[in-house]
Every structure is written in structure tokens, then in C-alpha cells.
């Protein structure tokens, strides 16, 4: 009897990882009703990371009063299992929470993320896993740190706002009020990018334009983050060059510098939590996928992570995607047995997104039939 491990990421704006897993399972059943399927929905540290990991861990969702990137009251979310708490920065300062017409990276901050961290501490967290993806901010984590007790001061010792506009007046930091409970918490930041904090590959240059920043604003944002890192001391300056420091508008850097955190691959964390490696034993194939397979897929994202785990056990991997770029063919050199486009040729984007589940199911069924 055939046995398929189903380990897709979400298909952005179309399917969650769980929905994609269900569509894959239906496709396998359509082609081979006797086949066994094992569901291991994946995520790479981007949007939806906490929900996927929490589902794998059986964590309890906890609603938390918080604020979005513009400071408006919202209900945030953390997930607790035992003394571990998982959260996504996107549930507090996510870009999708801000209407396109109101997006203004110079006046957004990550204060709401700090509120989620405080809620995690109040819930007794001894291990905190933070998904860094989908933020609207580029404040170097200043807002989060302010919520946790760090004071940001101008030249006269007066508090400044922790938005980039406010940080233009920053002269010093007072970390004496940083919540002491953080010293006893293991903090891991799940990250799907390797950008440093500063420079042409940094938070501002790479992700600022995605958040609406103009070329001139990108230069200003990078200057402000350079000053912030300099004022944080030698440790902060050194950690600014760490891979992932530029994630989520510099939240990665703040977590490394002030929370004593460390970067982890989101894929690796979920692979551990789902028991994917164990599930691969004796599998016929592992089916993975995401909305678009391209060059980024090769730099720590889901398909590459799943392929690496499968390669260890000699299990073939097939990647399904709404769109497959030419440069994604390099995946074939990383142990991937096949790349399958799920979208029928000529399908308009809005229709492709709306029919993602149906298309994925049909593509999986077709592949299984061809390879029985």
C-alpha cells in the first residue's frame, strides 16, 4: 500500500497550510483510495507560523488585548502548551491589519508585539517562540522594547515615540526597566530570511518598499536603524550583521540584542514539532508546496527544508505550486523529484487564488495516477 506524507506550506492568499494538506489528501484519495496519507502541514516562519506550529503542538489559543502597527486597539493571539508560548508578530503589527490607504511605515511601530510578549510572560512562559513574518513595521523592534520597559529618550531625556518618525529624535536608551522575567525565558525567533539589519541587504532596503517606503524613506529608515544599533552598545552593533537581524523590520535584531534570543529556521522548528522525519520512514513520497516556487524557495523555505529531511531518508519529494519560476529548477539538484504547477495555463490570478484548493487536489490526483 502506498503511503504519502503531505507537508505543504500555505498558498498565499489562497490556502492555509492545513487547507492545502486537506486538498492534497483528497487528491491522493481520488487517485488511490487505498493509499495512506500522513498530514504534516508546514510553515517557514512567515505569516501563519504560530498557528501551524501551535496546531502541531496542541497548544491552547489565548486572546490578548493589543495594538496594531498604527496603535489602534485589536485582539492579538498567543498559543500556550505547558510552559511554551508561540506567537506571530503579524497578529499584532501585521501589514494585512493595516488598510492599504493607511500604510505609512514611518508612523508604524511594533508596540503590540511587546504586549503579546508580556502576555506570554504573564502566562508563565519559560520558552517563547516568535514567528517573524508579515510585519508592517521598520522600527528595529523599538515599539516591542518600549512595551517591555525600555525607554527611548531624546537629547533632553524626554521620551520619544518608537515609530521611525519619533526615532529621528533618539539620543539614548534606558534599558533599566526591561522586564526582568525575560532573563529566565528561552527565546527563539523563527525566521525565513537571512537579511542583516543594515545596508543594501538589510531590513529597510529589502523590505521597506514592500511596506510602502519610497527610495528616500528607505535611506532614512536605514540611517535611523544605524543610530539605534549604535546607541545599543557594542553587542547591538555586532548583532546587526547577524543573518535574520533584519527580519520583520528589525524585530529580529531587537530579539537577539535585548531578549537574548536566537534565530531558528521556522521550517526546522515545525519539522521537529510535527515529527516529519519519523513520518518519512517507509513513505512512498512526500508532497510539499507553496504559492510560488522560485529562487527564494532554495534559501531555507519550506520546500527546501522538507527536501533536506526527505533526502536523509531517501524519500522522493514533489513540489506543487501555483507558479513555478525558471530559477526554481535548481530544486531538482536538491533532491526534489518533481515540480508541478497546479494552475491551468491562462487562468487569471483572481480565479487561480479562488480555486486553489480545487486545482491542488486535481494536480495531486494527476501526479499520483501517473506514478502508481
Superfamily of domain 3-40+275-370: Glycerate kinase; domain 1 (3.40.50.10350)
Report how far residue 217's alpha carbon sits from residue 220's, in angstroms, rounded to the nearest whole number.
5
C-alpha cell at 300: 531555507
What CATH fold (topology level) applies to the domain 49-266? Glycerate kinase, domain 2 (3.90.1510)
The more confidently predicted of residues 125 and 49 is 125
Give the cell for residue 84: 511554551
The answer to whether residue 122 scores a pLDDT higher than 90 is: yes
Residue 326: how many other CB atoms lie within 10 Å = 8
- Phi and psi at 371, nearest 5°, equal -120, 15
Where does CATH 3.40.50.10350 sit in the chain? 3-40+275-370
Rg (CA), the chain: 21
Please tell me the pTM assigned to this model: 0.85
Q: Average pLDDT in the 95-118 region?
A: 96
DSSP helix/strand/coil, 207: helix
pLDDT band at 300 (very low <50, low <70, confident <90, very high): low
> What's the confidence (pLDDT) of residue 103?
95
First CA to last CA distance, the chain: 10
Phi, psi of 231 (to 5 degrees): -75, -15
At residue 187, the pLDDT reads 98
CA gap 305, 46 in Å, rounded: 14
Which of 274, 262, 135 lies closest to 210 in space, CA to CA? 135
Residue 149 has pLDDT above 70, yes or no: yes
Residues in the chain: 372
What is the reported pLDDT for 251? 98
Q: Is the dihedral of CA 295, 297, 299, 305 positive or negative?
A: negative
Q: Is the pLDDT of residue 270 over 80?
A: yes
- Three-state DSSP class for 151? strand
Cβ atoms 320, 289 nearer than 8 A = yes
Question: Mean per-residue pLDDT for 49-68?
Answer: 92
According to the model, what pLDDT value does residue 49 have? 87
Cα–Cα distances in angstroms (integers) from residue 43 to residues 15, 52, 180, 280, 285, in the given order: 12, 7, 31, 17, 19
- pLDDT at position 57, please? 87
- Of 355 and 58, more confident: 355
Q: What is the mean pLDDT of the chain?
A: 94
Distance between CA 136 and CA 4 in Å, rounded? 38
Q: Classify 155 as helix, strand or coil.
A: coil
List where CATH 3.90.1510.10 sits in the chain: 49-266
Q: What is the pLDDT of residue 298?
A: 66
The Cα 359–Cα 319 span in angstroms is: 14
Lowest mean pLDDT among 94-108, 166-180, 296-310, 348-362: 296-310
CB contact set of 129 (below 8 Å; sequence gap of 6+) = 50, 53, 84, 85, 86, 87, 188, 190, 264, 269
| pLDDT of residue 72 exceeding 70 | yes
Return the percent helix, strand and coil in the chain, to nearest 5: 45, 20, 35
pLDDT for 164-191, tens place per residue?
Answer: 999 999 999 999 999 999 999 999 999 8
Residue 299's pLDDT band (boundaries 50, 70, 90)?
Answer: low
Percent of the chain topping pLDDT 90: 78
**CA-based nearest residue to 6, from 190, 268, 266, 274:** 274
Helix or strand run (H / E) with residue 109:
none
Cell 508585539, residue? Answer: 113
Q: Is the pLDDT of residue 301 over 80?
A: no
Amino acid at each position: 500500500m502506498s503511503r504519502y506524507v503531505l507537508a505543504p506550506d500555505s498558498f498565499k492568499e489562497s490556502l492555509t497550510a492545513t487547507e492545502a494538506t486537506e486538498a492534497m489528501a483528497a487528491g491522493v484519495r481520488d487517485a488511490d483510495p487505498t493509499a495512506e496519507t500522513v498530514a504534516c502541514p508546514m510553515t517557514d516562519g512567515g505569516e501563519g507560523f504560530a498557528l501551524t506550529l501551535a496546531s502541531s503542538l496542541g497548544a491552547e489559543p489565548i486572546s490578548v488585548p493589543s495594538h496594531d502597527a498604527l496603535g489602534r486597539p485589536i485582539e492579538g493571539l498567543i498559543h500556550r502548551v505547558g510552559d511554551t508560548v508561540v506567537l506571530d508578530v503579524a497578529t499584532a503589527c501585521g501589514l494585512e491589519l493595516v488598510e492599504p490607504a493607511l500604510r505609512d511605515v514611518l508612523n508604524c511601530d511594533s508596540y503590540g508585539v511587546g504586549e503579546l510578549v508580556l502576555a506570554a510572560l504573564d502566562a508563565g512562559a519559560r520558552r517563547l517562540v516568535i514567528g517573524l513574518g508579515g510585519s508592517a513595521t521598520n522600527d528595529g523592534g523599538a515599539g516591542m522594547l518600549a512595551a517591555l520597559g525600555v525607554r527611548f529618550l531624546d537629547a533632553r531625556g524626554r521620551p520619544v515615540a518608537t515609530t521611525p518618525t519619533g526615532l529621528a529624535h533618539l539620543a539614548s536608551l534606558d534599558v533599566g526597566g526591561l522586564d526582568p522575567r525575560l532573563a529566565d525565558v528561552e527565546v527563539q525567533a523563527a525566521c525565513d530570511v537571512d537579511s542583516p539589519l543594515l545596508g543594501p541587504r538589510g531590513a529597510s532596503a529589502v523590505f521597506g518598499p514592500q511596506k510602502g517606503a519610497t527610495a528616500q524613506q528607505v535611506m532614512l529608515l536605514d540611517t535611523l536603524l544605524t543610530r539605534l544599533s549604535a546607541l545599543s552598545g557594542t553587542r547591538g552593533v555586532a548583532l546587526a550583521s547577524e543573518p535574520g537581524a533584519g527580519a520583520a523590520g528589525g524585530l529580529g535584531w531587537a530579539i537577539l540584542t535585548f531578549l537574548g534570543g536566537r534565530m531558528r529556521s521556522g521550517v526546522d522548528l515545525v519539522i521537529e514539532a510535527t515529527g516529519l522525519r519519523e513520518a518519512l520512514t517507509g513513505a512512498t513520497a512526500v508532497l510539499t508546496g507553496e504559492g510560488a516556487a522560485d529562487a527564494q524557495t532554495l534559501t531555507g523555505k519550506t520546500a527546501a527544508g522538507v527536501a533536506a529531511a526527505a533526502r536523509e531518508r531517501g524519500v522522493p519529494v514533489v513540489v506543487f505550486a501555483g507558479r513555478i519560476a525558471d530559477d526554481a529548477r535548481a530544486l531538482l539538484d536538491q533532491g526534489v523529484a518533481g515540480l508541478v504547477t497546479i494552475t491551468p495555463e491562462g487562468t487569471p490570478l483572481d480565479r487561480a487564488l479562488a480555486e486553489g484548493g480545487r486545482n491542488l487536489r486535481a494536480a495531486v490526483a494527476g501526479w499520483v495516477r501517473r506514478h502508481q
